[in-house]
Chains A and B, each alone.
Chain A
Amino acid sequence: MKIDELSKIEGFKKLADNSASGKEFGSVYISDLLSVVLSKAEHGCLWITAQSHKNIVGVASVKEISAILIVEGFMPDGDTITKAREENIEIFTTELSAFESVKLILKKNGDL
């Protein structure tokens, strides 16, 4: 599924528009623990988290994660968005939970 298609899902808002939008993500990984993401997430995945601070961009960049979806209404600050643009990582936010978000992603992808 292309990252850009996430912005077509109702309730998802794209914050860090950049050239990563055209990329595909092959898997989804959900965790708020940074070391667990560093250990387990696949590169090129979509990472879903409730963390919204700047360090998430570092984690995503190191793991070559394509996009981050910040759930539960948490909002990254300007520094985080700027850093994401620099590192070419897409950031989306939503008021939804991780579970509800995944259901919508699967539905959009035709898996539900």
Chain B
Amino acid sequence: MRIFVEDIANIGSTTLKIKNKLKDIVSRPDALRRLGVCLFESEANLAIHSTGGVLEIVVFSSKISVTASDNGPGIPDIEKALTPGFSTAPPWARELGFGSGMGLKNIKRLSNAFSLMSTSAGTVLKFEIATL
């Protein structure tokens, strides 16, 4: 499943569509909730911090693998980006309650596998949620 994300007003809509599609496949409610949170954070990051990106979801028998990729501008300092409370979100996003500097940290904490690579050409975030 590949979904293009760029719509700020509808952050969360893509997550809910995916979650609804997977609710009959993923039997563990806690896994589905963790997946939902990680997808929401990924969707928000793509909409706020990039010029638009793609969420790619692959369903395996024991896990769900997600790749969120974009075309830039990239994360200058990944270590800082993973520090709780650090955020480069613009003021408009903070006014809406985004930009608390917890998004990537939430994904890392809730996922069973996590990787983040970024250059000025784009960012690729990968995470997995175990479903068994």
Contacts and interface: CB of A to CB of B under 8 A. Distances in A.
Contacts of B127: none
B16 interface: yes
A64 interface: yes
Interface stretch (B68-76, B97-105, B117-125): B97-105
A34 B93 CA distance: 11
A72 to B, nearest CB: 14
A87 interface: yes
A38 B38 CA distance: 9
Given A33-B102, A43-B33, A63-B33, A38 B97 contact: no
A21 interface: no
Contact of B9 (A32, A39, A54): A54
Contacts of A54: 9-10, 12
A62 B97 CA distance: 16
Interface residues of A, number: 22
Contacts of A49: 97
Contacts of B109: 39
A62 B36 contact: yes
A53 interface: yes
A63 B36 contact: yes
Interface of B: 9-13, 15-16, 19, 33, 36-37, 39-41, 44, 96-98, 100-103, 105-106, 109
